[in-house]
Amino acid sequence: MRIDPDHHDGTSDATPGGEQGKRRPGELVFAGFLLLASLYLTRDAWGIENSFGPNGLSSPRSIPLATTVVMVISAALVLFRTVRLPLDRSETVMKDILPWTVILFVGLLVGYGVLLRPVGFLPVSALFLIVAIKVLGRRGWPWTIGIALLSLLIIWLIFRIVFSVLMPAGIVPEAELVQAFRALVSGGAQ
């Protein structure tokens, strides 16, 4: 792991808001998003109707509406306080807040979710693990592929064979693999 001395000293910056009295890049946009999302949820909660009578304090919408109104008030306060802070110009969004590895893994997870059912657990998980280990491990291809496939094999054996968890088969004939493995373990006896 390479530490950039201009931006980090190797320790975690877990303090909300970064440097005291300054606004981090992207913080204002995120506070605005929270307020808009809270307003949308409040509108949604208002639309919950009581099919058994008038809407009162015991109606189905009272708790969701009260919760979302508290969210709107809280988000508005956060946005108001955030707007008043000066921007910390020593940080950037791409370097300190949302680096390329985070963006890559968000894309990988979305791709994993989209491809899991049509392509199947084994090929999608293999691809995900190979890319993730290569990016994070920064090792050679033989080591990366070997560790990824060994990990996938162990995961598959535990969940599919031992616990009988059904996973999307997709393009891999997994039922035949399971049957062949069970026949191998049982010594060919059926």
CA 187, 188, 190: angle at the middle one, nearest 5? 115
When pLDDT is cut at 50, 70 and 90, the band that residue 16 belongs to is low
For residue 17, what are its two tokens?
């808001």
How confident is the model over 12-21, as a mean pLDDT?
62
Residue 155 tokens, joined: 């995961």
Cα separation of 39 and 37, whole Å? 5
Residue 179: pLDDT band (50, 70, 90) is confident
Query: pLDDT by residue (tens digit) across 103-150?
Result: 999 999 999 999 999 999 999 999 999 999 999 998 999 999 999 999
* Ramachandran assignment for 164, one of left (phi > 0), alpha (psi -120 to 50 degrees), beta (any other): left
d(CA 45, CA 61): 6
pTM over 0.85: no
